[in-house]
């Protein structure tokens, strides 16, 4: 059986073998859950993982795997993968381990995304966005007992919009109309809405500022 190659030049079964090892799920149960989601177009579970069909792309089915609401992976799997009688994941455990090492190295570097692709739980995200508006700052008490200023900015990249949470000196570093580059951010949820957070290890830089006339 041929299965689609991922961007890492390995097959879907090899990548799924790695995920089964990483999240300690039985490969037979994992395969059964994938088949259920892929052929019946419904959400299934395996251990701590939830598996969902997100639609079709040519001859492939886009599979979304999450854990406790956080994105683990989303990638296309060729439809023939779901029709085989044998479990192809079992045949690729060693390759899956090799892939795991490659992904660990890759995870050390942030990846560029568009807003339409963002999911709660993502981290090490790079974005280039425009600032549509910056709300008036408000004072809050942090969980550490410190007083801080926080403001939400609405940003867009043409594929969608998202709220960007700004703290203290970050608030004065951007204005509506700026084009900014954000590095090493993460995606969280606040009151049911996706939110972009920069954090201590992230950065925000104005690439092009609004010019007043």
Give per-residue pLDDT as tens, 90-122: 766 555 445 555 554 544 455 678 888 888 888
The rounded distance, in Å, linking the Cα atoms of 81 and 86 is: 10
Instruction: Give the three-state DSSP class for 196.
Output: strand
Residue of 149, 209, 148, 211 whose CA lies nearest to 181: 209
CA–CA dist 194, 197 (Å, integer): 10
* Residue 89 tokens, joined: 């994941």
Q: Please state, rounded to an integer, the average pLDDT across all residues of the chain.
A: 80
pLDDT of 81 over the 60 cut: yes
CATH class of 112-208: mainly beta
Q: pTM of the prediction?
A: 0.49
Give 140-184 pLDDT, tens digit per residue. Answer: 887 777 888 889 999 999 889 999 999 888 888 888 999 999 998
Is the Cβ–Cβ distance between 30 and 108 less than 8 Å? no
Q: Give 110's DSSP letter.
A: -
Range(s) for CATH 2.40.50.140 in the chain?
112-208
> Can you tell me the distance from the alpha carbon of 213 to that of 207, in angstroms, rounded to the nearest whole number?
19
Q: Quick check: 126 pLDDT over 60? A: yes
* pLDDT for res 96: 47
């Amino acid at each position: 059986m041929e299965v689609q190659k991922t961007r890492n030049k390995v097959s879907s079964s090899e990548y799924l073998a790695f995920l089964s090892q990483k999240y300690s799920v039985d490969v037979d149960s994992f395969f059964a859950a994938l088949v259920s989601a892929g052929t019946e177009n419904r959400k299934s579970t395996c251990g701590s993982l939830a598996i969902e069909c997100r639609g079709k792309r040519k001859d492939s089915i886009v599979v979304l795997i999450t854990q406790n609401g956080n994105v683990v992976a989303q990638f296309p799997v060729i439809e023939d993968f779901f029709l085989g009688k044998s479990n192809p994941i079992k045949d690729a455990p060693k390759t899956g381990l090799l892939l795991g090492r490659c992904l660990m190295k890759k995870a050390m570097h942030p990846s560029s995304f568009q807003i339409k692709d963002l999911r709660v739980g993502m981290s090490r995200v790079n974005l280039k966005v425009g600032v549509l508006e910056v709300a008036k700052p408000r004072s809050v008490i942090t969980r550490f007992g410190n007083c801080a200023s926080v403001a939400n900015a609405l940003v867009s990249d043409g594929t969608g919009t998202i709220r960007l949470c700004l703290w203290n000196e970050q608030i004065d570093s951007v204005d509506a109309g700026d084009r900014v580059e954000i590095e090493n951010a993460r995606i969280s949820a606040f009151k049911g809405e996706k939110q972009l957070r920069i954090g201590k290890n992230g950065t925000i830089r104005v690439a092009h500022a609004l010019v007043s006339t």
